[in-house]
């Protein structure tokens, strides 16, 4: 059967559909990017905000129209929270709750009686990551969250924490590397809590992956700042563990953070960043900020602007607060008017653009290996990719165009006019960079 997979939301959702892609291929099915040609459509939904719910419904309706003859399977947070609506109102053939996501392919095959011909599975070296145009793999290592931030519905939708066995993660990373993947990102709802029920922790897993696999670049997804033990910073001494973290700040005001039920005060966050920059060369930090949380005063908002400017993030993910039914924040008094939220969002976006340009300009004149992801759609003759510390780069002036998924040594010589990318040229002519394993070999 021809299977089309699509998703909304977080990197964890991305990791899950990549895993499902591999499992469908192993059963002999074909992964297609053309929804109109599919016999089976699988949609991984999101419910982090009311807007995400709206988009999930819209995606399901669009999938039905595009694939009118296909079976429609839905999972994800929206499907788990609103399973009745998904099945009855939207005409979905099969709803699979988050608790059963890891068995989605098995359940779908059984309930929809899919044919299975493993002997016709993918040829060696073929991977759904590249069918879907990806150069890095997002790998789910755990699910669920023990915390209850007052604005978050995901902890209700995802349930209790559960971690994948360490050896299982190691095996999957080795398989991805054998398929040609050069970079893996570890994802989950609360990845800082990885392994608690297994008697291990996230640093244990990272050390095992660096020791037992040859993956060239290893990253972690969003981490809560209170989850980083002192031993964590020593992991960056291995050049294969990339010097970038995404740590959600959410607000620079301690009174707002208390209403959010966050476990890290803004001064503690700033101290953690200072430590990271002392311990890790070229450390790049990105973050999330929620604008217009209920009761946010002008003074609290100024505290956020000042703290964000003081810390100096490489990139901001900015979210205007959206009340989500079922969360404590939805019932908090003193909602911030929409015009005020828009104004504050504009202020923060302007600050974020300045901080991003300042951060990029610090790296002009340096040289880094860049993982080439493809040709730029907006800049003909330019190729794009990321440095180890996750800075976006546009590569120009190549007599011999680089290959997708190539590690290219790039001399950085400036920042584009929009302040969104570093600019560079291949270092020393061709500038091809061998795998990290070769770079570290004796002699």
Distance CA(136)–CA(258), nearest Å, equals 36
C-alpha–C-alpha distance, residues 267 and 190, integer Å = 22
What gap in Å lies between CA 43 and CA 8, rounded to an integer?
A: 8
Domain boundary among 314, 340, 362: 362
- Total count of domains within the chain: 4
Contact 146, 226 (CB under 8 A): no
Are both 162 and 111 inside the same structural domain? no
pLDDT of residue 432: 46
Q: Is the dihedral of CA 402, 407, 412, 418 positive or negative?
A: positive
CA distance 52 to 12: 15
Helix residue ranges, H only, 73-196: 77-81, 83-84, 104-111, 128-131, 154-158, 166-178
Q: 27 near 118, Cβ under 8 Å? A: yes
Q: What is the CATH number of the domain that holds 420?
A: 2.40.50.140
The predicted structure's pLDDT at residue 29: 87
Structure confidence at residue 88 (pLDDT): 62
Cα separation, 62 vs 43, in Å, equals: 11
Q: What is the pLDDT of residue 131?
A: 45
Q: Is there a domain that residue 394 lies in?
A: yes
Q: Which domain holds residue 168?
A: 135-242
**pLDDT recorded at residue 16:** 87
- Do 87 and 53 lie in one domain? The reply is yes
How far the first Cα of the chain sits from its last, in Å, is: 50
| Cα 266 versus chain centre, distance | 24
Report the C-alpha gap between 283 and 277 in whole angstroms.
6
- Shared domain check, 435 and 409: yes
Spans of the chain below 70 pLDDT: 83, 85-91, 116-134, 429-443
Report the pLDDT value the prediction gives residue 369, as an integer from 0 to 100: 97
């Amino acid at each position: 059967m021809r299977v089309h997979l699509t998703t909304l939301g977080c990197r964890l959702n991305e990791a899950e559909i990549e895993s499902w892609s591999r499992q469908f291929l192993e059963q002999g099915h074909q992964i297609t990017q053309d929804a109109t040609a599919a016999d089976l459509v699988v949609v991984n939904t999101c419910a982090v905000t009311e807007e995400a719910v709206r988009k999930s419904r819209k995606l399901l309706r669009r999938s039905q129209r595009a694939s009118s003859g296909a079976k429609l399977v839905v999972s994800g947070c929206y499907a788990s929270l609103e399973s009745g609506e998904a099945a009855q109102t939207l005409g979905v053939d099969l709803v699979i709750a988050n608790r059963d996501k890891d068995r989605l392919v098995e359940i779908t095959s059984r309930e929809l009686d899919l044919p299975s011909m493993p002997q016709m599975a993918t040829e060696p070296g073929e991977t759904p990551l590249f069918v879907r145009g990806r150069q890095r793999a997002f790998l789910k290592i755990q699910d669920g969250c023990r915390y209850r931030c007052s604005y978050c519905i995901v902890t209700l939708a995802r349930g209790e924490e559960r971690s994948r066995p360490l050896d299982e993660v190691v095996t999957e990373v080795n398989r991805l590397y054998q398929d040609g993947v050069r970079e893996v990102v570890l994802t989950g709802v609360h990845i800082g809590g990885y392994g608690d029920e297994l008697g291990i922790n996230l640093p244990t897993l990272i050390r095992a992956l660096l020791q037992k696999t040859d993956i060239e670049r290893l990253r972690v997804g969003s981490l809560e700042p209170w989850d980083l033990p002192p031993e964590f910073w020593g992991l960056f001494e291995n050049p294969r563990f990339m010097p970038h973290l995404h740590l959600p700040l959410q607000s620079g005001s301690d009174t707002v953070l208390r209403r959010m039920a966050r476990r890290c005060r803004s001064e503690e966050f700033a101290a953690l960043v200072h430590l990271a920059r002392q311990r890790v060369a070229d450390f790049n930090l990105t973050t999330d900020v929620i604008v217009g949380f209920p009761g946010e005063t002008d003074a609290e908002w100024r505290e956020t602007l000042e703290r964000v400017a003081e810390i100096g993030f490489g990139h901001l993910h900015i979210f205007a607060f959206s009340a989500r039914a079922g969360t404590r924040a939805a019932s908090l008094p003193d909602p911030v008017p929409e015009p005020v939220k828009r104004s504050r969002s504009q202020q923060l976006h302007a600050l974020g653009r300045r901080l991003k340009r300042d951060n990029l300009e610090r790296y002009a004149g340096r040289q880094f290996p860049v993982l080439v992801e493809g040709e730029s759609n907006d800049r003909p003759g330019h190729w794009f990719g990321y440095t180890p510390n996750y800075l976006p780069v546009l590569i120009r002036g190549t007599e011999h165009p680089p290959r997708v998924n190539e590690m290219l040594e790039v001399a950085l010589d400036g920042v584009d006019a929009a302040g969104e990318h570093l600019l560079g040229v291949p270092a020393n002519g061709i500038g091809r960079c061998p795998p990290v394993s070769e770079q570290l070999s004796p002699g």
